Chains A and B, each alone.
Chain A
């Protein structure tokens, strides 16, 4: 191959490498994806301390951070937390508690979710696990997006505050397939506006989208459940996924859909090592 063509190919290869962070080296695996993903954002935003990525837009914009610090003197999710604690600690009519369904009585475990469930072959998010607990104890499932579910999970997540996120992908082809499906979803364009998650959260990270500052994909799900000022309310990851789909004018999936479970699995795995920052507050 001629010298000039080689150089041009190298330049193209390098720029693709910058734009597609998950393109790993010679032996692709979730672990190498994770390293490439985190390295990409560290290189792109060298002044942001690694743990600060969990703060999303506040790590990208000093003015927003100042407003957030003001708001956080009185966390807007305080009511959700108080209600969540009461709901979590209340016994079911049969006398059992939520704590009986989880390791460590359900406290300090949020950093391990979502989990792969070998029995069903599906990904279980913490919200789905709460509903499984309810079903096991004869209670109807809760709305996965908001209300009591958001409050309960806000409380459970608060007991893991600061713990390093530790999502595992076991040596099971179904778990790996779920991870890969989540990754593919993240990078696939959809909707009338033809955006992928990456369009905003990788390419557009730190940029303004109307009045909002876009959070980078690294740390994106670490501060859920989240009080959003636009909602005036606390909501779960799935609430935001559905909202994002609607905003790019794509048909949203059902809250417990495999697509959303897999997407959350991928995104949470990419946060491994970052501190749990939920519940969080965003515009």
Chain B
């Protein structure tokens, strides 16, 4: 699902704060549609955040995470202009990733 990740990272005094909004239905598999049929499970399983190629956060999501998940975290290091990349894979094998620069 290309273009599903919006990211903004800013460095401030040796710490970088990353915010990301990921567009994904995050269906748990337990919800029924209007006709009474189960909506199949479709959720992100793993998300990885990397700074200049080195992973700074790996998140293990699943059916308990809601639609269009928003993430915000900080890590030590990083400076304006450095690479930030995010990639995810879901339970159906779909993937997406994005690269950006720290502001």
CA distance A73 to B20 in the complex (A): 10
CA distance A71 to B68 in the complex (A): 13
Q: Which A residues are CB-close (under 8 A) to B23?
A: 79
Q: Which B residues are CB-close (under 8 A) to A76?
A: 21, 68, 70
Whether, in the assembled complex, B19 has its beta carbon less than 8 Å from a beta carbon of chain A, the answer is yes
Contact B68 A232 (CB under 8 A): yes
Contact A73 B8 (CB under 8 A): yes
Contact partner, A71, options B6, B20, B66, B70, Cβ 8 Å? B70
From 87 to 132 in chain A, residues with beta carbon under 8 angstroms from any chain B beta carbon are none
B8 to chain A, nearest CB (A): 7
- The binding surface of chain B is classed by DSSP as strand
From 52 to 84 in chain A, residues with beta carbon under 8 angstroms from any chain B beta carbon are 70-71, 73-74, 76, 78-79
Q: Please name the residue on chain B nearest to A73 by beta carbon.
A: B19
Q: Total interface residues on A, using CB and 8 Å?
A: 8
Whether, in the assembled complex, B95 has its beta carbon less than 8 Å from a beta carbon of chain A, the answer is no
CA distance A78 to B23 in the complex (A): 10
Contact B6 A232 (CB under 8 A): no
CA distance A8 to B6 in the complex (A): 62
From 14 to 32 in chain B, residues with beta carbon under 8 angstroms from any chain A beta carbon are 19-21, 23
- Proximity bits, B73-97, A CB within 8 Å = 1, else 0: 0000000000000000000000000
Whether, in the assembled complex, B42 has its beta carbon less than 8 Å from a beta carbon of chain A, the answer is no
CA distance A236 to B21 in the complex (A): 22
Q: Which A residues are CB-close (under 8 A) to B20?
A: 74
From 31 to 70 in chain B, residues with beta carbon under 8 angstroms from any chain A beta carbon are 66-68, 70
Instruction: Please name 17 pairs of A and B residues whose Cβ atoms are closer than 8 Å in the assembled complex, sorted by A.
Output: A70-B72, A71-B70, A73-B8, A73-B72, A74-B8, A74-B19, A74-B20, A74-B21, A74-B70, A76-B21, A76-B68, A78-B21, A79-B21, A79-B68, A232-B66, A232-B67, A232-B68
Q: Which residues of B contact A (CB under 8 A)?
A: 6, 8, 19-21, 23, 66-68, 70, 72
Nearest 4 Cβ contacts at the A-B interface: A232-B67, A74-B21, A79-B23, A74-B19
